[in-house]
Amino acid sequence: MVTPLLQVTNLRKRFGAFTAVDDISFAMKPGEILGLLGPNGAGKTTTIHMLLGLITPTSGTIRMFGLDLNEHRETILSQVNFSSTYISMPQSLTVEENLWVVARLYGLAEVARRVDLVLEQLEIADLRHKVMRHLSSGQLTRVTLAKALLTEPKILFLDEPTASLDPDIAQKIRVLLKEVRRSSGVSILYTSHNMREMEEMSDRIIFLQRGRIVAEGTAREIVARFGQADLEEVFLKLARESRHET
Amino acid sequence: MKLHRIFALLTRHLYLYRRSLPRILEIFYWPFLDLVIWGFITLYLARAGDHLPGMVMFFLGALILWDMLFRSHQGITISFLEELWARNLMNLFASPLKPGEFLVATMLMSLFKVTCVAGVMTLCAAAFYSYNLLQVGLWLIPFIVNLVLMGWAIGVFTTSLIMRFGQEAEVLAWSMVFLFQPISCVFYPMDVLPPWLHHLAMINPAAHIFEGLRSVVNTGTAPVERLAWAFGLNGLLTVAVITWFYQTFAYCKEWGLLVRVGE
């Protein structure tokens, strides 16, 4: 049996009377792409924030690489990275300057080589000397992805990484992520509202609804279990149920 | 010109005040401080009459030193605000960076700003008014060290408040330090203050520094006791605000404020 790279056990987060994440447990294997799916407010982003140590769980444990996040924050966070449409980077710095800052934060060696490589990988080498505030939203997304890949993480958290990209670039990013997974064996926890993308990318999907896991398996297994035509239909069914209950 | 559009903009700004205590307070804050500080300066001048040795020279020195305190405070708060405005806090705190490392970096940035400001102001004072700050002698070193330490303490405290209350509280980055100015006795001696404020000034490290500066400039007396007070109080203040910072940081992580602080 393969030891999970990420092991979440009975994770719960309450903000006062509101329960954002309710007793969820899951694991992620090395090299796996795990999709986290659910309507707005299902607890996906809160879960990712807890995994990144930005929010303290109310209860439960998070273990990565066999270590407890609470006790080994520095060791764990130096081996993970993330990208999200909801974050930004200093706007007055150039792309290259930003990447150098990240490299120093993570104590990377051979920074120049890694920066060159990641800029080439994401096809943004021409943006190297551009100030961030002059980039389009699609270019910004690629730079935040570059930031995430620069540190060669073992686990990558991607919160809607292709949300603001045109279909062509989004497709290139998906191909790139699969290639990175193949070559480096990185494990990816992925959220998206694009169901086709989720089906294409994920080895396994976890469906969250009102903070709870309501389904887990491959896209095909989940579609079959809910008796719907495709993943989008499952999503719509669960999202509407969720709204009715609230 | 349409009144309804002007009214729309007016309401847009008034809406901000409806739910923002810091903005409301700021309306009264600066006039109040101006009145207090200039009131005490007037009192001091009226009492002293013609017996003000080297007063103008002292004012220039005090102004430069006060600015060092102000810049050391601002060096911390503005560095934090830069991250907040850039929505970069998540990138930082989801990395291996420790809160303590973040604080040390902002303190070093503050030191850089203080050095630049001190250099420029000292040169300008020499060029425009033939005033030489270095005439204070070696006492200048512990004076500056204490003022920088106090600026850091106020800066860390302010940063914690901004982290806790978000951009609503960013006005504190500029204004918080001035809350200490009336009881820092920058331009007038401590004994001008009414007794209740005098007690407050006694627990303010900066007040001891400016009293010390006055004693060096006016009488050439070694301000050893004042420096002992300043170092002692700064030590306590530093421990208190760093504890406060860590507690606020934990609170923000508990309530998810760290990821929403830019809003």
Q: Which residues from chain B sit within 8 angstroms of residue A84, using beta carbons?
A: 90
A228 and A118 belong to one structural domain: no
A20 and A107 belong to one structural domain: no
Residue A168 placed within a domain? no
Question: What is the maximal distance between C-alpha atoms in chain A?
Answer: 54
Question: Region A88-94: what's the mean pLDDT?
Answer: 90
A135 and A227 belong to one structural domain: no
Residue A169 placed within a domain? no
What is this model's ipTM? 0.91
Which of A131, A152, A173 is the endpoint of a domain? Answer: A152
A158 and A246 belong to one structural domain: yes
Could you tell me if A121 and A172 are in contact, meaning their C-beta atoms sit under 8 angstroms apart?
A: no
Q: Which of B198, B167, B195 is nearest to B182 (CA)?
A: B198
Option in A56, A77, A87 nearest B254 (CB):
A56
User: What is the C-alpha to C-alpha distance for residues A164 and A125, in angstroms, rounded to an integer?
Assistant: 20
A47 touching B, CB under 8 A? Answer: no
pLDDT at A244 over 80: no
Which of A108, A127, A152 is the endpoint of a domain? Answer: A152
A121 and A40 belong to one structural domain: no
A73 and A158 belong to one structural domain: yes
A59 and A1 belong to one structural domain: yes
A132 and A190 belong to one structural domain: no
Q: Which residues from chain A sit within 8 angstroms of residue B95, using beta carbons?
A: 77-78, 102, 105-106
The total of structural domains in chain A comes to: 2
Residue A37 placed within a domain? yes
Option in A49, A82, A91 nearest B86 (CB):
A91
A102 touching B, CB under 8 A? Answer: yes
Report residues of chain B scoring pLDDT below 70: 49-56, 261-263
Residue A180 placed within a domain? no
Give the pLDDT confidence of B44-73 residue by residue, as tens digits: 877 776 666 566 677 888 989 999 999 999
A55 and A158 belong to one structural domain: yes
Q: Which residue has the higher pLDDT, A195 or A67?
A: A67
A65 and A103 belong to one structural domain: no
Could you tell me if B68 and B171 are in contact, meaning their C-beta atoms sit under 8 angstroms apart?
A: no
A158 and A132 belong to one structural domain: no
Nearest C-alpha in B relative to A57: B254
Residue A174 placed within a domain? no
pLDDT at A83 over 80: yes
Angle at B151 between CA B155 and CA B25, to 5 degrees: 55
User: What is the C-alpha to C-alpha distance for residues B207 and B230, in angstroms, rounded to an integer?
Assistant: 8
Could you tell me if B223 and B138 are in contact, meaning their C-beta atoms sit under 8 angstroms apart?
A: no
What pLDDT is recorded for position A195? 86
Q: How many residues does chain A have?
A: 246
Nearest C-alpha in B relative to A72: B96
Q: Which of B4, B46, B92, B82 is nearest to B188 (CA)?
A: B46
User: What is the C-alpha to C-alpha distance for residues A131 and A102, in angstroms, rounded to an integer?
Assistant: 16
* Residue of B79, B246, B259 to mutate when probing chain A, most A C-beta within 10 A: B259
What pLDDT is recorded for position B263? 42
User: What is the C-alpha to C-alpha distance for residues B210 and B181, in angstroms, rounded to an integer?
Assistant: 11
pLDDT at A57 over 70: yes
CB contact under 8 A, B258 and A55: yes
Which of A107, A133, A152 is the endpoint of a domain? Answer: A152
A27 pLDDT band, cuts 50/70/90, is very high
Q: Which residues from chain A sit within 8 angstroms of residue B249, using beta carbons?
A: none
User: What is the C-alpha to C-alpha distance for residues A106 and A154, in angstroms, rounded to an integer?
Assistant: 13
CB contact under 8 A, B97 and A105: yes
The overall average pLDDT reported for chain B is 88
What pLDDT is recorded for position B227? 96
State residue A59 phi and psi, 5-degree precision: -155, 170
User: What is the C-alpha to C-alpha distance for residues A235 and B132, in angstroms, rounded to an integer?
Assistant: 74
Option in A15, A53, A91 nearest B255 (CB):
A15
Which value, to the nearest 10 degrees, does the dihedral of the CA atoms of residues B122, B151, B233, B251 take? -170
Host domain of residue A98 = 86-152
Residues of B with CB under 8 A from a CB of A: 82-83, 86-88, 90-98, 250, 253-256, 258-259
The encoded tokens of residue B159 equal 């940063």
Question: Region A158-187: what's the mean pLDDT?
Answer: 88
A61 and A43 belong to one structural domain: yes
Classify B220 as helix, strand or coil: coil
Say what the pTM is.
0.88
In this structure, what CATH number is given to the domain that contains residue A236?
3.40.50.300
**C-beta atoms surrounding B22 within 10 Å:** 17
State residue B137 phi and psi, 5-degree precision: 85, -160
What pLDDT is recorded for position B11? 83
